[in-house]
C-alpha cells in the first residue's frame, strides 16, 4: 500500500513528518521522521498505550530513561517501553534526524492534537507557552503523562518535581 501525502507537524521544537499512521498499518503502529535543528527536547513523559523505538539517522540524541541518560549516535537505536518515564533531547547545537516508531498506533493523534501543522518552509523553534499548553491539554486524552519539569527554552532541565502536569 502506498502511503498518502505525509503531514508535517511542529511539535516540542521538532519537525515531525508522519510517514505512516493507524489507517495505513491496520492500527499496528505509527512512524515519524523527526528533524531537530539544534537544542530541543520533549517533556519527560510516560506512555500508557504505546511502546516507542528511536533510531538515529544523523547527529546525536540524548535519551533519558527512568532517570538515566544515554547518548545515541547515528545508526543506534533504543526501545522505550510503555509505562517508563523517558525524554528525548538534542543537547547540541547541531542538527539531528531520527525515526520514532510507536506500537500500537495512536501517538500520531497526540502529535496532531498537541502540535500544529507545519507552515510552508517553516523551521522549528523553541515551543511557545501556547504550544506547551496545547501539548499539556492534549496529553491525557491520548494516554500520556507529561511530568512538570520541562519549560520553554529549557528543554528537559529538571525542576525536581515528579508531579505530572496532568495531575494539576
Per-residue pLDDT for the chain (168 aa), expressed as one digit of tens each? 554 579 999 999 999 999 999 999 999 999 999 999 999 999 899 999 999 999 999 999 999 998 899 999 999 999 999 999 999 999 999 999 999 999 999 999 999 999 999 999 999 988 889 999 999 999 999 999 998 765 433 333 333 333 344 444
Q: Are 144 and 45 in contact (CB under 8 A)?
A: yes
Name the grid cell of 103: 506500537
pLDDT for 35: 96
pLDDT for 67: 86
Q: Please tell me the distance from the alpha carbon of residue 130 to that of residue 133, in angstroms, as a whole number.
A: 5
pLDDT for 157: 35
Q: Is 136 left (phi over 0), alpha (psi -120 to 50) or beta?
A: alpha
**pTM metric for this prediction:** 0.85
Q: Are 44 and 85 in contact (CB under 8 A)?
A: yes
Residue ranges covered by each domain of the chain: 8-167
Provide CB contacts within 8 A for 62, sequence distance 6+. Answer: 69, 70, 71, 72, 88, 89, 90, 91
Q: Closest Cα to residue 154, out of 57, 64, 40? A: 40
CATH architecture of the domain with range 8-167: Sandwich (2.60)
pLDDT for 66: 87
Amino acid at each position: 500500500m502506498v502511503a498518502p501525502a505525509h503531514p508535517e507537524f511542529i511539535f516540542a521544537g521538532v519537525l515531525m513528518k508522519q510517514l505512516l499512521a493507524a489507517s495505513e498499518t491496520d492500527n499496528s503502529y505509527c512512524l515519524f521522521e523527526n528533524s531537530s535543528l539544534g537544542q530541543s527536547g520533549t517533556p519527560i513523559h510516560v506512555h500508557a498505550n504505546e511502546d516507542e523505538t528511536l533510531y538515529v539517522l544523523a547527529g546525536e540524541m540524548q535519551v533519558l530513561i527512568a532517570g538515566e541518560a544515554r547518548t545515541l549516535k547515528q545508526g543506534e537505536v533504543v526501545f522505550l517501553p510503555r509505562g517508563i518515564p523517558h525524554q528525548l533531547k538534542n543537547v547540541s547545537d547541531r542538527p539531528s534526524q531520527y525515526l520514532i516508531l510507536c506500537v500500537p498506533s495512536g501517538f500520531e493523534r497526540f502529535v496532531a492534537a498537541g502540535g500544529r501543522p507545519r507552515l510552508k518552509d517553516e523551521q522549528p523553534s523553541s515551543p511557545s507557552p501556547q504550544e506547551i499548553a496545547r501539548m499539556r491539554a492534549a496529553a491525557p486524552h491520548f494516554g500520556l503523562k507529561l511530568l512538570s519539569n520541562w519549560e520553554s527554552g529549557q528543554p528537559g532541565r529538571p525542576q525536581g518535581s515528579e508531579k505530572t502536569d496532568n495531575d494539576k
